[in-house]
Chain A
Amino acid sequence: GESVGLHLPTLSVQEGDNSIINCAYSNSASDYFIWYKQESGKGPQFIIDIRSNMDKRQGQRVTVLLNKTVKHLSLQIAATQPGDSAVYFCAEIISGGYQKVTFGTGTKLQVIP
């Protein structure tokens, strides 16, 4: 299943399928990006990050893709599991200084068993 940026706040996928969550960031000066997972009633949990000198980074079951030309990030989750159900936020940061984190609007991922 695939979300279409910020206008589709909920993404439902079958367990075992791959998920793709998209995010459009706003500031072309941002050079560091993070995906966070937030479960209900909890704080954000770091998933994976990427710097602007890269266009792809892989973790365990997760991959982040960065397209600076169109200011677009995506998070790919392989073999989605029920425990992946949460809200996912992309965050953009300008390194240096106070490094303020600006969060995207988020996408809720629902995994159907």
Chain B
Amino acid sequence: GAVVSQHPSRVICKSGTSVKIECRSLDFQATTMFWYRQFPKQSLMLMATSNEGSKATYEQGVEKDKFLINHASLTLSTLTVTSAHPEDSSFYICSARESGTKNTDTQYFGPGTRLTVL
């Protein structure tokens, strides 16, 4: 099946620094990728939809200048948390939708990145 990877799996950073998280589709091309955020014991909340070669679409309440998304190729999207603060500590998960196949409804999820801001 389709595989999505994320890197890093865990990151600890100091308050005020920026952190970049990568999401890769390993064996398929993904025109669209999605970024989610999940707090402990809560559901996944969609942050933004990332489209290859164009600007991301952010959900209401998500600061686009704080959560920078770049989808420069059909297999890679990056999320950069700028000037991170402790309240940004969370589990960040990406998903990718396979392009050019019959079933484009299924999204494949990455393993997630645990961000801890000290």
Identify the A interface with B (CB < 8 A). Answer: 9, 32, 34, 36, 41-46, 49, 89, 93, 95, 98-106
Contacting pair A43 B111 (CB below 8 A): yes
Chain B: CB-nearest residue to A9: B41
Contacting pair B43 A104 (CB below 8 A): yes
Within 8 Å of chain A (Cβ to Cβ): is B95? Answer: yes
CA distance A67 to B12 in the complex (A): 44
B interface size (C-beta, 8 A): 27
- The 5 A-B residue pairs with the shortest CB-CB distance in the complex, in nearest-first order: A43-B109, A103-B43, A44-B109, A103-B44, A43-B112
Identify the B interface with A (CB < 8 A). Answer: 4, 6, 32, 34, 41-46, 49, 51, 57, 91, 93, 95, 97, 104-112, 114
B42 to chain A, nearest CB (A): 8
CA distance A99 to B32 in the complex (A): 10
21 of the cross-chain contacts (CB-CB < 8 Å) are: A36-B109, A41-B112, A43-B4, A43-B93, A43-B95, A43-B109, A43-B112, A44-B44, A44-B109, A45-B109, A46-B106, A46-B109, A89-B44, A95-B105, A98-B51, A98-B57, A100-B46, A103-B44, A105-B42, A106-B42, A106-B43
Contacting pair B114 A41 (CB below 8 A): yes
CA distance A43 to B49 in the complex (A): 17
